[in-house]
Amino acid sequence: MLVYQQIRAVGCFSVPEGQDVPPRDIPVEIEQLGSGSTFLYYCCGDGPAYLPSMVNSGRSVAFVGLTDEGLPIRTSCLRIYLGQKADRHCFSVSNVIIGEPVAAYNSVELAVTNIVFERGCRQGQSFSVSVGDAPLPVELRPVENYDDIVFHLRQTKCPTVTAKLKMGPGSLSIAALDSLVDDLSATLSVIQGRKVQWIQRTAYSLQGRIVWSELGETITKDYTHGFLCFDPDKQTGIRVSLERAASSFPKVREFCQIYDPDRRIVNSWLDARLQNDFLEARTLKYAIIMESLCRLVEPKHADIPSNYVPKSKWRATGREFLPRIKDYLATSLRLDSCVIENVCSSSNWGNLNRAGFRTTLAECLQKLGISMHGGPERIRRVTDVRNKIVHSLNYLTAVDFEELKWPAIDATQQHFMVACFVEEALLRLFGLGEHVSESWIAGFRAHHPQRTLTTL
């Protein structure tokens, strides 16, 4: 895994009570990998011998000092002692702050992972986003040695910094900056089809001096190809140009503000796209995305029916017919009274009236303004696969297809049927629906088999 940066500092270790752990003036080196993982090193003879056991016993210990450039630096509490490397102790840390983040600044630059530029766009991409009523310029450009780094990224799939994202001029509060950066990362992730995340952000003054910098505890994901499912006409996956970031960003931001402030849908979709899991687990993740989408949208629209029949009328129907059903089960089938009570419970009766997932999904897509290729028939097939994988962690069998009366397809095709459905929905949701063609849906065939649990 590539090392992204190294920072040298001198200072002391401290506990929350404000006491220093002697001695002082300990030289340390802070190292951040391209994945965002951050480590603190110091020579074995420089610090207290008991510090490793102190950290591993659960005591909160942080480092406070000055960088070689004279800027104040502080870390989060050391998480765990990882052992010695040569003659140095190594600890993991989750967050490092240099300078004072509350200070005003002129521009911010972020180190972001997993961005891959199209050929011909290696000079970067510039666009602007709206913050409030004001436009904010954004510039995305490759890092030095970009070609070598991307080659390593594709070889290892380990996330690493491939681009710098600069925003400004303009100064935002930390909360506003966090929100903007999260929405920008989500937008770039949708376009790239993989998790794009910052691991460091640095604020600069008008004169170009560092005001503050943060090595953040952000969640990165392994690299995966950016093909969005499969286009049978071109024999390759759909790719979305980075040029679409400007037009897609407001769609992503609006959806997050109204329905999904924690960006669960985009993040769970990116996790489903990773190819490390067995196929059943990946299909299950796509099913969870559909379920989560419904759970986020449904509460915002009171007119989405949760029941087929109004509750009051259904309860009245139950009062009329449940006694008759109980009597029939007792006299004709001679079932035990406990069994009858369980079968004819009010909760079971209520469940019969509850709108099924297929109905709810169709209603939620309609509320989001998403019109899917294939309409109700395609939704039916996707939810058939979803129901089987959710309840049995298995795919539809020949017997299932015969009962459902639709053509049999293998496990790989069933997975990509669900994946294509989710990815089409997201493309349309975020203003990228023109990339979807009828042939992309009707003629889809997965280009190679995938690992399933049965191939263990």
For residue 401, which phi and psi values (nearest 5 degrees)? Answer: -65, -35
> What pLDDT is attached to residue 185?
96
> What pLDDT is attached to residue 225?
81
Q: How many CB atoms lie within 10 A of CB 378?
A: 17
311-331 and 346-353 are packed helices; what angle lies between their axes, rounded to 10 degrees? Answer: 120
Question: How much is the mean pLDDT over the chain?
Answer: 89
Distance CA 385, CA 378 (A): 11
> What pLDDT is attached to residue 437?
66
Q: Does 154 have pLDDT greater than 80? A: yes
Strands 198-204 and 62-67, by their bridges, are unpaired
The band of 265, judged by pLDDT with boundaries at 50, 70 and 90, is: very high
> What pLDDT is attached to residue 290?
96
Q: Does 151 have pLDDT greater than 60? A: yes
- Tell me how far the alpha carbon of residue 401 is from its chain's centroid: 33
Q: Does 307 have pLDDT greater than 60? A: yes
Q: Does 233 have pLDDT greater than 60? A: no
The band of 76, judged by pLDDT with boundaries at 50, 70 and 90, is: very high
Per the structure block, which two tokens stand in for 302?
């009171």
Distance CA 399, CA 397 (A): 5
Outline where DSSP puts E strands in 218-290.
228-231, 236-238
Q: Does 232 have pLDDT greater than 50? A: no
Which residue type, as a one-letter code, is found at position 321?
F
Instruction: Pick the more confident residue, 100 or 369.
Output: 369
The band of 453, judged by pLDDT with boundaries at 50, 70 and 90, is: confident
The band of 441, judged by pLDDT with boundaries at 50, 70 and 90, is: low
> What pLDDT is attached to residue 19?
73
> What pLDDT is attached to residue 293?
96
The band of 448, judged by pLDDT with boundaries at 50, 70 and 90, is: low
- Best-predicted range by mean pLDDT (19-23, 66-70, 221-225): 66-70
Q: Does 118 have pLDDT greater than 70? A: yes
- Best-predicted range by mean pLDDT (127-131, 223-227, 292-296, 306-310): 292-296
Mean pLDDT of 111-137: 86
Mean pLDDT of 311-327: 89
> What pLDDT is attached to residue 434?
84
Q: Does 352 have pLDDT greater than 90? A: no
For residue 23, which phi and psi values (nearest 5 degrees)? Answer: -85, 175
Flag the least confident range among 52-56, 127-131, 292-296, 381-385.
127-131
Q: Does 330 have pLDDT greater than 80? A: yes
Helix and strand numbers, DSSP H then E, in the chain: 14, 16
Distance CA 424, CA 124 (A): 27
> What pLDDT is attached to residue 134?
84
Distance CA 323, CA 336 (A): 15
The band of 86, judged by pLDDT with boundaries at 50, 70 and 90, is: confident
Mean pLDDT of 28-47: 94
- Tell me how far the alpha carbon of residue 154 is from its chain's centroid: 20
For residue 371, which phi and psi values (nearest 5 degrees)? Answer: -110, 110
Percentage of the chain beyond pLDDT 90 is 59
> What pLDDT is attached to residue 305?
80
- Tell me how far the alpha carbon of residue 434 is from its chain's centroid: 24
Q: Does 438 have pLDDT greater than 70? A: no
> What pLDDT is attached to residue 249?
95
Percentage of the chain beyond pLDDT 70 is 93
> What pLDDT is attached to residue 368?
96
- Best-predicted range by mean pLDDT (18-32, 195-209, 310-324): 195-209
